[in-house]
Amino acid sequence: MLLPLASSLRPLYNAKKWLVIFEEVDVKALQQRILQEGKNLGNGILKVDGFVNHQVDPALMEACGKEFARRFAAVGATKVLTAEISGIAPALTTAIHLGIPVVYARKHKPITMPDQVLLTLAPSHTKGRTVELIVSPEFLSGGERVLIIDDFLASGQTILGLVRLAETAGAKVVGIGALIEKAFEGGRQVLQPLGIPIEALVRICAMDDDRIEFCP
């Protein structure tokens, strides 16, 4: 029998017997996975492709979404906003637990979008260039109470771009959540003057040499 995802259970697949077995997953598993599988590539870049950025662990993301929903339960969010692609998984599971829609900013405008869109620019550390963040006004409008969820909080520039999109639409940002905060890059200090609650599930204080040092 398949148990509901809301119970924060982790699937283990047995291909021979076509069974799905579950074991408990705690949000602390995110820090453990970073220690076990994360790679410090230097220059402040943390590779978590095996469970967040390329291959996604759905049960881990479900546990993280449940925790975000608990932390932001009181802010009255009506929509979750993120940026493609890596922010979609935690944003989606957060939205499921809050019972609200999720919209993600595109980095390229598809032909299905209207001519007039919400657009801002944000520098990308991992891409080494400035990227566009685009949202259709059909899905982000005045009166919305927006919760921003992303995979990383580093310099804060991507999240600041999402804040600009929401505010341009006439929406109010009521919370900011990140799976992983690289505290040494100062993004929290960039965002704090906005007066918006900020939550990170894991905070990394240093990545000197090959180390990954978590904040106490």
What beta strand segments (E) does 76-171 contain?
79-83, 102-105, 118-124, 129-135, 145-153
pTM summary value: 0.87
For 210, phi and psi rounded to 5 degrees? -105, 10
User: What is the DSSP-derived secondary structure letter of residue 3?
Assistant: P
Domains and CATH numbers, the chain: 5-214 (3.40.50.2020)
For 151, phi and psi rounded to 5 degrees? -75, -45
User: What is the DSSP-derived secondary structure letter of residue 210?
Assistant: T
| Residue 161, token pair as written in the block | 């771009």
For 178, phi and psi rounded to 5 degrees? -135, 140
Per DSSP bridges, beta strands 172-182 and 145-153 are: parallel
Q: What local confidence, expressed as pLDDT, does residue 23 receive?
A: 52
Give the amino acid at 24. E
Q: What local confidence, expressed as pLDDT, does residue 88 receive?
A: 97
Q: Residue 177 belongs to what H/E stretch? A: strand 172-182
How many whole angstroms separate alpha carbon 165 and alpha carbon 83? 11
Per DSSP bridges, beta strands 198-206 and 172-182 are: parallel
Residue carrying the six token digits 């505010």 = 167
Strand, helix or coil for residue 99? coil
How many whole angstroms separate alpha carbon 216 and alpha carbon 203? 8
Q: What local confidence, expressed as pLDDT, does residue 57 receive?
A: 94
Under a CB-based contact definition with an 8 Å cutoff, are residues 90 and 64 in contact? yes
Q: What local confidence, expressed as pLDDT, does residue 109 receive?
A: 87
**Residues lower than pLDDT 70 in the chain:** 1-24, 125-127
Which residue stretches of the chain are H helix?
29-37, 58-71, 88-98, 157-168, 187-191
